[in-house]
Amino acid sequence: MQVTPSDADVLDGLDPEQREIAESLRGPVAVLAGAGTGKTRAITHRIAHGVRSGVYAPERVLAVTFTRKAAGELQGRLRALGAEGVRAQTFHGAALAQLNHFWPQFVGGSAPKMLPGKVATVAQVIESLGLRLGGEALRDVASEIEWRKTTMLGIDGYASRIAERPVPQGLTQEQLIEVHRGYAALLEERRQIDFEDVLVLMTGMLESEPRAALQVRERYRFFTVDEFQDVSPLQHALLRVWLGDRDDVCVVGDASQTIYSFAGASSSYLLRFGAEYPHARQIRLERNYRSRESVVRLANRLMRDRPGALTLRATRTEHAPDEHAPTFEWFASEHDEAEAVADSIAAAIRGGTPASDIAILYRTNAQSARFESALQERGISVRVHGAQRFFERADVRQAVMLIRGEAKVADSRPLFQIVSDALRASGWTAKAPEGAAARERWEALGALLSLVDEMPAGTTIRAFADELVARQRTQHEPTLEAVTLSAIHAAKGLEWSLVHVVGLSEGMLPIAHARDETSVDEERRLCYVAFTRARDVLRLSGVAGGARSAREPSRFVAEAGLLA
């Protein structure tokens, strides 16, 4: 039986600012939380304290975050703290559940079907207009439709601002507007909605149907919103109608980590929270528990004097600062960079750093292939973050089905033996096989077995199977023993002991199309996110390129103090 902490235990171990957050249970609260400052710990302990002290009824609490994975991890932490019954969902997950619930009552019939993605529908509209676009341009059009909706612009409003917007290659401004109109018409004809429409429709329904709004407000009384710097106007509007005239909301964010402005996100809601709620309590988390002092110092230099920037204070003591200080290397070619980074990682693994605690971060996904190849040539397993999800792998799905089958039969054997026998039936062996593909499959199945060690003593096979189903539903993946390759956008919220940030050249980071001050600021924040993923060692590198594509080192390297 899992033991949950008492209310006193929930508050023990928090630093003074985290404890202040945990004890601020009513009214509006804004938490300005720098990278590595324990914000998730603070807000989960706040919710758990609210539940245990009787201030919160758990079923009336809604914790909102931005990804299913983050929501799953939040739910797991709350469960471990004894806050059963609290819901942790994404904006879209919560809104979709409400839309499906209320549509039959207030509109009739079932809600429209969700479009799995925009690109295929955009391609059909483009074809119907007699135009031709490549895959990248189609994705750019889909992104513009997303931006228009998240910023709550109708097509006419978008047309009035088209001069400010990037027009995908191969289209004129007038053609882009026609694509928007054609896309909207096609969805209406097919009775389909897309990702953003879920929020648009739910916001509109709650504004126009008092009975629906009353039900939602009766259901949820206390709100926590994580990553508030990435809230869009549409998400903010939905939050306001969820709240109504109440103000029991806690928002958490860091303006320096706003990296989704291209999709409509705005840190203004975080920075102006005090103006929106004049009696709000504002608490800053600036004690960094993640990174060495040299990494923290580098990150602070990069964001110095930027709007909303926090000043991180390292809590870790550096015993050998020269050995671990961040470095920057400049290479003649992409091949040279990939080889040097792979050699560095191989040496770190030989020195005892687990492969799962190492990452290579880059600006665009197109940069990953050469690093993946260089690592595999050295026999190092690689996991490309954002590629196929762990629980969607066919071998993992089969193994989970076998484990669930074992759970239906009474079995007195130890949990580890039951699970290992089920995995052996899926082809897993105790010894690692040869070959990259076979090794990748072996490590995926082994990651399932490693989850047994994370379970409380006495966990039954049925409870373990239930845990796998919960993780499958929320994409809460186990740790794979492989080096992570990831675009920086996808790495937010993660951390590793050793981080290589590659491609730090002008035109790559900042990206070539970042020409004005606003877009360069976004690139700087992206670089800040990359730097603050490192716990122990941060290695930076860039590439000069050839004669026809000669580049200079990224301006951010100089701003961070690594260039003379």
Same domain, 486 and 382: yes
pLDDT over threshold 50, residue 3: no
Global confidence as pTM: 0.81
Residue 546 has pLDDT above 70, yes or no: no
Which of 269, 285, 301 delimits the end of a domain? 285
Tokens of 535: 């716990």
Q: Is there a domain that residue 51 lies in? A: yes
Looking at every residue in the chain, the average pLDDT score rounds to 89
pLDDT of residue 551: 86
Is 36 within any annotated ligand binding site? yes
pLDDT tens for 385-418 read 765 566 777 778 888 888 888 888 877 888 888 9
Residue 100 in any domain: the answer is: no
Residues 86 and 139 in one domain: no
pLDDT digits (tens, 9 = 90+) for 481-522: 889 999 999 898 899 999 999 999 998 899 888 888 888 999
Q: Are residues 488 and 378 in the same domain?
A: yes
Q: Binding residue per annotation — 35?
A: yes
Residue 341 and residue 306 share a domain: yes
273 and 422 belong to one structural domain? no
- The residue out of 181, 208, 231 marking a domain boundary is 181
517 vs 497: CA distance, rounded Å = 32
Tokens of 225: 């919103």
Judge whether 40 is annotated as a binding position.
yes
Residue 437 counted as domain residue: yes
Residue 547 burial (CB count, 10 A):
6
Q: Is 33 one of the annotated binding-site residues?
A: yes
73 and 27 in one domain?
A: yes
Residue 253 assigned as binding residue: no
| pLDDT value of position 1 | 37
Alpha helices in 414-547 (DSSP H): 415-425, 436-450, 461-474, 488-491, 517-531
The dihedral sign for the CA sequence 562, 366, 340, 384: positive
Q: What contacts 24+ positions apart, CB below 8 Å, involve 114-118? A: 114/192, 114/193, 114/194, 114/195, 114/198, 115/187, 115/192, 115/193, 115/194, 115/195, 117/142, 118/142, 118/145, 118/146, 118/183, 118/194
Q: Report how many domains make up the chain.
A: 4
Are both 167 and 240 inside the same structural domain?
Answer: no
Do 149 and 208 reside in the same domain of the chain? no
Distance between CA atoms of residues 414 and 390, nearest Å: 26
For residue 113, the cross-strand partners are: 192
C-alpha to C-alpha distance for 391 and 357, rounded to whole angstroms: 21
Domain that holds residue 70: 7-95+199-285
Closest CA to 436 of 359, 372, 360, 388: 372
Could you tell me if residue 510 is left (phi over 0), alpha (psi between -120 and 50 degrees) or otherwise beta?
A: beta
Together in a domain, 382 and 299: yes
What is the gyration radius of the CA atoms in the chain, in angstroms? 25
pLDDT in tens, 33-55: 999 999 999 999 999 999 999 99
Ranges 47-51, 247-251, 411-415, 433-437: which has the least confidence: 433-437
The encoded tokens of residue 355 equal 């492969």
Query: Residues 80, 212: one domain?
Result: yes
Q: Is 316 inside a domain boundary?
A: yes
Structural domain contains residue 86: yes
- The answer to whether the bond into 510 is cis (omega within 30° of 0) is yes
In this structure, the answer to whether residues 379 and 400 fall within a common structural domain is no
pLDDT tens, position by position, 355-367:
999 999 999 888 8
Q: Are residues 376 and 502 in the same domain?
A: yes
Q: What is the mean pLDDT of residues 299-322?
A: 85
Hunting for tokens 């020195």 — which residue is that? Answer: 351
CATH of the domain at 81: 3.40.50.300
Last residue of a domain, one of 262, 285, 308: 285
